[in-house]
Structure 1
Amino acid sequence: MTSFPREHSRRSGITARVRRRLLAYRAIEFSSTHLLGDPGPGEECLLLVHIRQVVGQVRYRMCPECAQGVITAVTIDERFHSTGLGTRALSHLRSRHPGITWRSTLSRRVPRDLLRRMRIPDLTGPSAAPTCL
């Protein structure tokens, strides 16, 4: 029985991560929907779709009058964590709605770290300005 060197297994981990990152950047489509059950104006959801399967979503509210948006939820399928898909989704949201100042209400660590990297401030912090949302 032959044993492989330790570097071999590490390469396969890196290769798998690169493949997932390429998949996240090439095979994911974005679809925006208005949430039907929510009565407030601007309640929307950006769906992340891979081959007719939703693999993530970004929920947000927008007020075009005051040019502010609030991100209320970010969920991404486990297999797409650490692939840059969250960054790509928030960048897509920013490019789709230019001129909107984004904030968040998220408190979970993973989305909070993503929002910090994307420089989207927390709406619940001490420096939060009042908003119509």
Structure 2
Amino acid sequence: MGLNDKLKEARKKKGMTQDDVEQKTGINKKTISNWENGVSRPDVDSISLLCKIYGIDPNDLFEWDSVKEKQQEGYYLDPEAAAIAQEIYEDQDLKMLFDASRKVSKNDIQLVIDMVKRLKGDE
């Protein structure tokens, strides 16, 4: 669903017509129609105003929360730990020897990597 559809849906959920929005915001009804039909896009200030009137979060309009949630849905809670774990994943010797859990800290993961590298004679 595009921004235009989300704006229209939010307005309708609020039980408002484009005329109602025009009266509350001072934004011309034709402009609102253009936004909702995908002809043009609102600027940041207009989006902020519409979100207040519709009672919605801008994150919902742009699906920013879903991106954030996807990052948080990763196996590791700490992004640095995830980067180190990627190193393990890419090195077959490390991958074989390490079975990480979700709560392992980046320091613990790095310790395992360092130990395995020493055992392999890489360092």
Q: TM-score range by the shorter chain?
A: under 0.3
Higher helix proportion (structure 1 or 2): 2
TM-score relative to the length of structure 1: 0.22
TM-score relative to the length of structure 2: 0.23
State the structure with more CA Rg: 2
Higher strand proportion (structure 1 or 2): 1
